[in-house]
Amino acid sequence: MGRTAILIDGGFYQKRAAILFGRKSAKDRADEVFAYCCRHLHQTDKTTNELYRIFSYDCEPSDKNVYHPLTKSSINLGKTDLYEWNKTFLNSLSHKRKVALRMGELLEGSNYTLLPKVINDLCRGTRDLDSLTEKDFFLDIKQKGVDMRIGLDVASIAQKRLVDQVVLIAGDSDFVPVAKHARREGIDFILDSLWQPIRPSLTRHIDGLCSRTTNPNKMLQKGAKKDPLVASGHQRW
């Protein structure tokens, strides 16, 4: 039996979880994150690894006033339902056993932006400005310091040989140096992109690509319901 450290890009997980598992309350989402991570402890040879720690990388929700170009009004993000949801989620997750929060920061200049599909429709002339609604906009908030913290923690864990395996739940960011360093130190490095495609250059520098849930494309083809977080998954070694 080995030891596994699991690192999660919180912002990425929330976006993908909404697609894979549906929308949930903040507490239920926190319970789901922990349960999903525990799936990675079960190995293909039917053994179970010991959990070293779950590291979740996120940012405190923004409480700034942001101007909305459609309504021509200022919105206090600190008084929105999304703000309360995120605060409750982070608080619930922080109380889980062996979970450590690593908090980054939000970049200045957050604003409401048109969805890419809406921009394409406007450029093609299939829609006009008078047809826009609030649902056509999204709040564009960018994080900073998250990727750096992930890299530092992987380097520290690998250098000190605290675990035998690192599982990174993240998208196609530039994690090649992180994966290469961990592997040079003899760590089994697994990437879970939650079925989001990754670049071939990243595939070459990991030991496995593993998503512990049903492929959403197959669910759509078969008309299946969203994964209720039961023990299923995909493994490539």
* Predicted pLDDT at 236: 36
User: Does 94 share its domain with 24?
Assistant: yes
The neighbour count for residue 129, using CB atoms within 10 Å, is: 7
User: Does 223 share its domain with 183?
Assistant: yes
User: Does 95 share its domain with 149?
Assistant: yes
Let me know: does 97 contact 53? Beta carbons within 8 Å.
no
**Among residues 36, 51, 61, 134, which one has the least CA distance to residue 100?**
51
d(CA 16, CA 172): 13
Give the pLDDT means over successive 10-residue stretches in the chain (237 positions): 94 93 96 96 89 96 90 91 95 97 81 92 93 91 83 93 96 84 94 91 89 79 55 38
Residue 146 backbone phi and psi in degrees, to 5: -70, -50
User: Does 49 share its domain with 150?
Assistant: yes
Task: Classify residue 224 by its DSSP letter.
Answer: P
Do the bridges between strand 73-76 and strand 208-211 make them parallel or antiparallel, or are there none, so unpaired? unpaired
**Among residues 50, 10, 58, which one has the least CA distance to residue 165?**
50
User: Does 11 share its domain with 37?
Assistant: yes
Interhelix angle 26-39/10-20, rounded to 10 degrees, is: 100
- For the stretch 37-64, pLDDT in tens is 999 999 887 899 999 999 999 999 988 8
Maximal C-alpha separation, the chain: 62
User: Does 8 share its domain with 123?
Assistant: no
User: Does 160 share its domain with 193?
Assistant: yes
Q: What is the CATH number of the domain that holds 50?
A: 3.40.50.1010
User: Does 21 share its domain with 121?
Assistant: no
Q: In the structure, how many helices (H) and strands (E) does the chain have?
A: 8, 13
User: Does 56 share its domain with 101?
Assistant: yes
User: Does 119 share its domain with 184?
Assistant: no
Prediction pTM value: 0.84
